[in-house]
Amino acid sequence: MKQYNVIVAGATGMVGRKMVQVLEERKFPVGKLIPMASARSAGKSVTFNGKEWTIQELNEGNIKNSGAEIALFSAGGSVSKEFAPICAKYGITVIDNSSAWRMEPNIPLVVPEVNREKIFSGSKIIANPNCSTIQMVVVLKPLHDKYKIKRVVVSTYQSVTGAGQKGYDQLMKEWNKEKIESPKFPYQISFNALPHIDDFTESGYTKEELKMVNETKKIMGDDSIAVSPTCVRIPSIGGHSESVNLEFEKPFEIQDVVELLSHAPGIVLEDNPKEKKYPMPIFAHDKDETFVGRIRRDDSVNNGLNLWIVSDNIRKGAATNAVQIAEELIKGK
Ligand SMILES: NC(=O)c1ccc[n+]([C@@H]2O[C@H](COP(=O)([O-])OP(=O)(O)OC[C@H]3O[C@@H](n4cnc5c(N)ncnc54)[C@H](OP(=O)(O)O)[C@@H]3O)[C@@H](O)[C@H]2O)c1
């Protein structure tokens, strides 16, 4: 079996560490792992397939000499803007987790369960969507294909891990009553809910909320889907949760929706209120699937449906989705 040399850029971060773990778990055919991060981390190492791999500084020289075919990036937007085109120049296909390239018209934005075919558009940079968008579109896709979604109203309950290592550290330090030198969140996060993720824009929406609007349309390939989001950070760890209200063009039967979702790729149905069975971050934690439950009709509109969706934002929302794209890439059309 052909093996591939793989750069993981941002290998010391929350997502990068998970990418290395997921590559190993899913037995991705890695010949050489090339972990990269900032100069601060150069010389440290990561463990992969029982071996230590030395971290290199992410720079043009190291990219050029890497012999890599694929690069998984999770080192932030400005790093991706600078180094993804350099990788592309040396023939390396980049799968990028930041928001740097997602809305560029010629860059595919991919969730394999939804739009796998875009991987083969010929672009050397492929964008991995925002974590809250990924888990939502996995569930929207089969429903849209059958009932055509007119409008989505979504409220998120997002894990501190979505803000990277610093977000996680702030929660832990608050709990342990330790001093926090430079807080990640503008307010205390423990015992709190912050209706503020990423920067506010002139519109009053945050950038995170606009990502959910724009990325959903691009991935689903349908600009007519109206999305109304509110994104909230809560002190959970295992994954992001979403309350999703849908309005369809076509009528539906609840049993058909349940049946459809129970067979859809990447989805696990957890929906038995009598047994207190519904998705929660503590159950989704460290799993690759997207969990859906609380499926019920919304009688306040025609053809309305309510859902509760939970997924591990570091896995399906980031690392797993990126590795799945790489898997599909090497499988080919
Ligand atoms: N957390 C999530 O749920 C999530 C989901 C989807 C996408 N993402 C995206 O993934 C990216 C990383 O997120 P994260 O949560 O893993 O953040 P993180 O834990 O803060 O890690 C950041 C990583 O970027 C590296 N880095 C920073 N500056 C660098 C530079 N100048 N050159 C090379 N490497 C540099 C860091 O290396 P050092 O250790 O050397 O500083 C570290 O490996 C972001 O773009 C984020 O938006 C995150």
Residue 167 in contact with ligand 1 by CB distance below 6 A: no
pLDDT, tens digit (0-9, with 9 covering 90-100), for 195-228 = 999 999 999 999 999 999 999 999 999 999 999 9
Q: Residue 16: which H helix or E strand, with range?
A: helix 14-25
Residues 109 and 206 in one domain: no
For residue 243, how far is the Cα from the chain centroid? Answer: 17
Mean pLDDT of 178-182: 95
Residue 16 in contact with ligand 1 by CB distance below 6 A: yes
Backbone angles phi, psi at 331, to 5 degrees: -70, -35
The number of beta carbons lying within 10 Å of the beta carbon of residue 221 is: 12
Look at residue 156 in the predicted model and tell me its pLDDT: 98
Average pLDDT, the chain: 98
Strands 125-127 and 56-57: unpaired
Look at residue 333 in the predicted model and tell me its pLDDT: 85
Share of residues in the chain with pLDDT > 90 (%): 99
Split at pLDDT 50, 70, 90, the class of 326 is very high
Residue 71 in contact with ligand 1 by CB distance below 6 A: no
Rg (CA), the chain: 20
Task: Give yes or no for residue 1 having a pLDDT over 90.
Answer: no
Strands 149-158 and 240-248: antiparallel
Give residue 79 CA to ligand 1 midpoint distance, Å. 9
Residues 172 and 307 in one domain: yes
Backbone angles phi, psi at 187, to 5 degrees: -135, 170
The structure's pTM equals 0.97
Active site residues: 131, 240
Pocket test for ligand 1, best of 38, 126, 132 (most atoms within 8 A of CB): 38
Per the CB < 8 A criterion, the answer to whether 215 and 129 are in contact is yes
Q: Residue 149: which H helix or E strand, with range?
A: strand 149-158
Residues 172 and 299 in one domain: yes
The CATH number given to whatever domain includes residue 303 is 3.30.360.10
Look at residue 247 in the predicted model and tell me its pLDDT: 98
Split at pLDDT 50, 70, 90, the class of 67 is very high
The CATH number given to whatever domain includes residue 82 is 3.40.50.720
pLDDT, tens digit (0-9, with 9 covering 90-100), for 32-42 = 999 999 999 99
Mean pLDDT of 117-124: 98
Residues 172 and 279 in one domain: yes
Mean pLDDT of 260-283: 98
Residues 61 and 142 in one domain: no
Residues 83 and 174 in one domain: no
Number of domains in the chain: 2
Backbone angles phi, psi at 267, to 5 degrees: -110, 140
Residue 318 in contact with ligand 1 by CB distance below 6 A: yes
Residues 153 and 266 in one domain: yes
Split at pLDDT 50, 70, 90, the class of 100 is very high
Residues 31 and 122 in one domain: yes
Residues 189 and 229 in one domain: yes
Question: Torsion angle, CA of 96/97/102/106, rounded to 10 degrees?
Answer: 20
In order, the DSSP letters of 42-100 are TT-EEEETTEEEE-EE-SHHHHHTS--SEEEE-S-HHHHHHHHHHHHHTTPEEEE-SSS
Residues 21 and 81 in one domain: yes
Residue 293 in contact with ligand 1 by CB distance below 6 A: no
Residues 267 and 141 in one domain: yes
Per the CB < 8 A criterion, the answer to whether 53 and 28 are in contact is no
Give residue 6 CA to ligand 1 midpoint distance, Å. 17
In whole angstroms, give the CA distance from residue 311 to residue 117: 23
Task: Give yes or no for residue 316 having a pLDDT over 90.
Answer: yes
Domain hosting residue 21, numbered range: 4-129+318-331
Backbone angles phi, psi at 22, to 5 degrees: -70, -35
Residues 155 and 97 in one domain: no
Question: DSSP letter at 160?
Answer: G
For ligand 1, atom 39, which residue shows the shortest CA distance? 12
The number of beta carbons lying within 10 Å of the beta carbon of residue 1 is: 5
Give residue 97 CA to ligand 1 midpoint distance, Å. 9
